[in-house]
Amino acid sequence: MGRVLEEARFAVAFTESMKEMAQAQWPHAKGKIYVQSQGIATTPNAAFNWNTFLQRSEINHSADNLHIFLLICGLRQVKDPLYLVDAFSEWHQEEPSVYLVIAGPEVDPVFTREVKAKVRRAAGVRLIGEMPQEDLHAVVKNCFAVVNSSVSEGMSAAILEAMNLEVPVLARNIPGNAAVVKHEVTGLLFSNPQEFVHLAKRLLSEPALEKEIVVNGREYVRTYHSWQAERDAYQQLIRKLEGSAED
């Protein structure tokens, strides 16, 4: 990383705290690190059939008050997709209308086998493969909440996309998530599986809390994660490069 930074003309950090950490680690790069948060644009497929999706996922879509919690991640250990499986499965047995759907590509083949074996035995938990982005955005729009259980994150696009699509977010309380999710303001942060279930139940039983989180989350993304601002920032950096190439 240090050698790459020596050769790079610019580096972009998503947050001020990331920039500070990088500068402390690589003091020689101080003048070349810029801050630009991730820009978000969502394009849900308007023709997406939610009932067909539920059928394919083997979810009883005639269940009253069906509530789908969606965990979007590549199947690799840093995403910790199994973190909530036992606690969620127990909750599903008490409350059959709640389901956890894990969606994402099979990144690590060995770990994927472990995930598949565990999910097969877990009531109320489903695993679906990678989907086209427009379809995934349609699933997000139809689900009750988006979940993030990663051990480590830079800046989760799935969290920001959910906010943009006006869907509440429940995220594991790690620095990358806490940088974008303010507890009980733009989402809910949990520190263990039991706290996740407690907060998920709160979200189900307190529509005012859900509404507040959704409104604040959408406002936050539109204010701080504009794709136009991200595009403009990179265009400026490229212009600087072009300018120095001409000198």
Q: Which domains are present in the chain?
A: 1-35 (no CATH), 65-225 (3.40.50.2000)
- Whether this model's pTM surpasses 0.85: yes
Task: Tell me the per-residue pLDDT of 226-237, one tens digit each, with 9 for 90 and over.
Answer: 999 999 999 999
Beta partners for 54? Answer: none
Sole residue written with tokens 């499986």 = 85
Burial of 246 (0-12, 13-18, 19+ CB in 10 A): exposed
How many whole angstroms separate alpha carbon 154 and alpha carbon 44? 24
Candidates 63, 2, 62, 75; CA nearest to 32 is 2
Neighbouring residues of 206: CB distance < 8 A, sequence distance ≥ 6: none
**Residues forming beta bridges with residue 99, ordered by sequence position:** 68
| CA 5 remoteness from chain centre | 27
pLDDT in tens, 27-54: 999 899 999 999 999 999 999 999 999 9
User: What single letter denotes the amino acid at residue 178?
Assistant: A
Instruction: Identify the pLDDT of residue 61.
Output: 73
Q: Per-residue pLDDT tens for 89-105?
A: 999 999 999 999 999 99
Residue 17 pLDDT: 86
CA angle 49, 52, 57 (to 5 degrees): 125
